[in-house]
Structure 1
Amino acid sequence: MRFITGKAGRTAAVATAAVAALALAGCSSSEAEPEGSPTGAAGTTEETTAAVEPGTYGDFAVQLSWIKNEEFSGEFFADANGYYTDAGFASVSLTPGPSTGAAELLSGTADVALSDAVSIGSAVAAEEAPLKIIGTTYQKNPFTVLSLADGGNIATVDDMVGKKIGVQASNTSLFEALLAANGLTADDVTIVPVEYDPAPLTNGEVDGFIAYLTNESITVEAAGYDTVNLPFADNGLPFVAETITVTDQSIAENRDALKAFLYAEILGWTDAVNDPAEGARLAYEVYGADLGLDPANSEAGAIAQAEDLVVSEETVANGLFTISDELQASTLASLAGAGIELEASDLFDLSLLAEVYEEHPELIAYAG
């Protein structure tokens, strides 16, 4: 049985890329063309735009962490419904990954990267890369140990003991951190090197497989398998993902543009949370039309992320993309478990987001 290659494992080590990118800092911006807006795209957000002239901030380049699937439905809404334009951008290009975004940010080919705390934290800790997370799309990371009910049936951490777990090379330290957070070590399991296609799981070669709740878990279940998930975020390893990441230089020199981007992003993700089916349609019919995305799987992924990953008690109280002090602390603790030692000020700068919400408090009430 054939699966679309999964995305678990995108948190590849970026130290080498960061070194190369530091040498290229200041190069030209991305050459990727912005996507066109689909006809009749429906948004649910009332029109509230920043008071700036069209094109004030010129062209803006965004490096996506993965292919143009439903994971970026908020960005698709922001583009399709004109929120980027209304916020003052001449154009916003959405360049597909897979990529952690660190190299693109440091080389100047991207203004913003959608990444994760592990990848960015690795670059900051290993190479003192001047990067900061200024907000996060996912309040919970979507990593999971995926298994089959009639196979490994891994429902608890203790169920992993003695089992064969398929782990991508880039996720080895992260998986070891999950073990450590639960009092286990690599000696308690058999780590089997795998790629991103979950075929080794469905073929019975491994008992568990490192996956994404919004990707491989859905595709494997849709293929007719009874699946079981052990989410990292609920088992001692919570950290933020799909982080909005920029350079320190950009914060210093392009603060207004970054705030305008956050403003448009909040509008786009408000639509995505309130209408995940439309966000999925934008992925499989428009922005990712050439990828052969399965509409049912795309919609299931869009609903799962909208309900389980993007929103939380924190976002209800303070708005989308916010990262509470508690979530910052738990993220840093998770990174420490993977050998990445950082302080909050090394990794986060949430002052821009705070200013956006101070200037536009109506954005906090995103629930439709």
Structure 2
Amino acid sequence: MPLALSRRHAIAAGLAGAAAAATPRRARAATKTKIRYLTSWFPQAEHGGYYQALATGLYEREGLDVTIDMGGPQVNGLQLLTAGAADIIMGYDIQVLSAIERKLPVVTVATTFQSDLQGLMTHPDIKGIAQLKGHRILIANTSYATFWPWLKQRFGFTDEQAGPYTFNLQPFLIDPNVAVQAYGTSEPFEAKQMGAQVNFFLFADDGYPPYGSTMVTRTEFAARQPDAVRGFIRASLLGWRDYMHDPAPGNRLIKQANPKMTDARIAYAIAQMKALHVLDGGDARTMGLGIMTAARWQKTRDFLVAGKILSPQTDWRAAFTTKFIDGMRIMPDGTA
């Protein structure tokens, strides 16, 4: 087991033990539902609400014994979920729609962010994505099956413009005519650390419809443990609400699980999430954190079908359910 994972389990065990010591014997006798939650990457501020919920006892308050496992470049979250090695994972709409096309028994039960943090990073002379027509745009191989078809439909970009992005920023930094795919909380930070002046354009601001960092489980688990799923969603969203006001408890767990994470990177990511309103923007302003709508899911389905990424026969409505999040109304202003 990697060192970071060992530390994380030790932290969780310590928190559980402290809570048990302060809980009456009768309450301790009740069995908590175990949930293994798998994130998409190494612990970071973009996962902060989940660590906040663990650190402050929000999961325990819902009768849950939650373990947070970290993803990474060699971790296939969907495979672990369908194999039963994880109960809920951090996913994304396109991944789940593809899984439904392949008849995998998974379902999205809520979202974290109202918009994906994906976008493009450019040099300062570019004032909008539309200006990049004819420019070289560096993208990862996986992006040809996610946002690239949307960019072509929305802005008329061509495959000839696309170049390989190997997660090395040097080709972008040395060529003023190049743009590069970027996560709003990541590449701009790296570029600025290297002394570069950059602009960042969030795809969602131009209509890119997928949600970001969704909560995905097995259909069987959602049917068998509906109260646990609802409790996990509620605690996680309360954790996110609290994290954006006082991230210190969550940050302590993040840094213990990922010692390479710095205060500067965490602070930048939190500032960007606030500035881009990925958590509290869109429908979340009036309907509550974590909300999803069929209209948004259909927009994602439609651009994937138009880009020949998804079969038009796919039962896209099976990719999500709103029955857990509807009516929860955890508002960004602190009401719940």
Give the letter for the 1:114 counterpart.
M
1:114 and 2:95 correspond: no
1:295 and 2:263 correspond: yes
Instruction: Quote the Cα distance in structure 2 between the aligned partners of 1:57 and 1:191.
Output: 50
**Aligned mate of 1:165, from 131, 137, 144:** 137
Flag the 1:234–1:90 CA change in 2: closer, same or farther, 3 A: closer
5+ residue gaps in structure 2? Answer: 16-26
Give the letter for the 1:297 counterpart.
R
Q: Secondary structure at the match of 1:137?
A: strand
| Aligned positions of 1:60-71 closer than 5 A | 60-71=35-46
1:199 deviation in Å?
2.9
So what's the TM-score if we normalise by structure 2? Answer: 0.83
Flag the 1:365–1:182 CA change in 2: closer, same or farther, 3 A: closer
| Aligned positions of 1:105-254 closer than 5 A | 105-125=81-101, 127-149=102-124, 153-187=125-159, 189-204=160-175, 207-254=178-225
1:156 deviation in Å?
2.6
2:21 matched to which residue of 1?
none
Q: Given that residues 48 and 254 in structure 2 are in contact (C-alpha distance below 8 angstroms), is that contact kept between their aligned partners in structure 1? A: no
Give the CA RMSD over aligned residues: 2.9
Give the letter for the 1:104 counterpart.
L
Q: Given that residues 32 and 95 in structure 1 are in contact (C-alpha distance below 8 angstroms), is that contact kept between their aligned partners in structure 2? A: no
Q: Compare relative contact order (CA 8 Å, sep 6+) and give the higher one, 1 or 2.
A: 2
Q: Given that residues 7 and 256 in structure 2 are in contact (C-alpha distance below 8 angstroms), is that contact kept between their aligned partners in structure 1? A: no
**Aligned mate of 2:285, from 313, 316, 319:** 316
1:143 deviation in Å?
1.0
2:20 matched to which residue of 1?
none
Count of equivalent residues: 315
Q: Secondary structure at the match of 2:227?
A: helix
| Aligned positions of 1:268-307 closer than 5 A | 268-276=239-247, 278=248, 281-282=251-252, 285-288=255-258, 290=259, 292-307=260-275
Q: Given that residues 53 and 88 in structure 1 are in contact (C-alpha distance below 8 angstroms), is that contact kept between their aligned partners in structure 2? A: no
Give the letter for the 2:142 counterpart.
S
- Provide the identity percentage: 19
Q: Secondary structure at the match of 1:34?
A: helix
Instruction: Quote the Cα distance in structure 2 between the aligned partners of 1:349 and 1:178.
Output: 24
5+ residue gaps in structure 1? Answer: 1-29, 41-51
Q: Deviation per CA, 1:215-245: give whole Å up to 9, x if none.
A: 1122212332111123211224221010000
Q: Secondary structure at the match of 1:345?
A: helix
1:4 matched to which residue of 2?
none
1:313 deviation in Å?
4.3
Q: Secondary structure at the match of 1:309?
A: coil
Q: Deviation per CA, 1:144-203: give whole Å up to 9, x if none.
A: 111222xxx44333322222211101112334313333251425x421112223232123
So what's the TM-score if we normalise by structure 1? Answer: 0.76
Q: Secondary structure at the match of 1:92?
A: strand
1:323 deviation in Å?
1.1
1:80 deviation in Å?
0.5
Instruction: Quote the Cα distance in structure 1 between the aligned partners of 2:131 and 2:237.
Output: 39
Instruction: Quote the Cα distance in structure 1 between the aligned partners of 2:9 and 2:110.
Output: 23
Instruction: Quote the Cα distance in structure 2 between the aligned partners of 1:366 and 1:325.
Output: 25
| Aligned positions of 1:349-360 closer than 5 A | 349-354=321-326, 357=328
1:37 deviation in Å?
5.8
1:311 deviation in Å?
0.7
Q: Deviation per CA, 1:239-292: give whole Å up to 9, x if none.
A: 10100001111111111211121121122111122235x36733653332x2x2
**Aligned mate of 2:51, from 65, 76, 79:** 76
1:55 deviation in Å?
5.7
Give the letter for the 2:223 counterpart.
A
Q: Given that residues 285 and 331 in structure 2 are in contact (C-alpha distance below 8 angstroms), is that contact kept between their aligned partners in structure 1? A: yes
Divergent runs of 4+, >4 A = 30-33, 37-40, 52-55, 341-344
Q: Given that residues 284 and 294 in structure 1 are in contact (C-alpha distance below 8 angstroms), is that contact kept between their aligned partners in structure 2? A: no
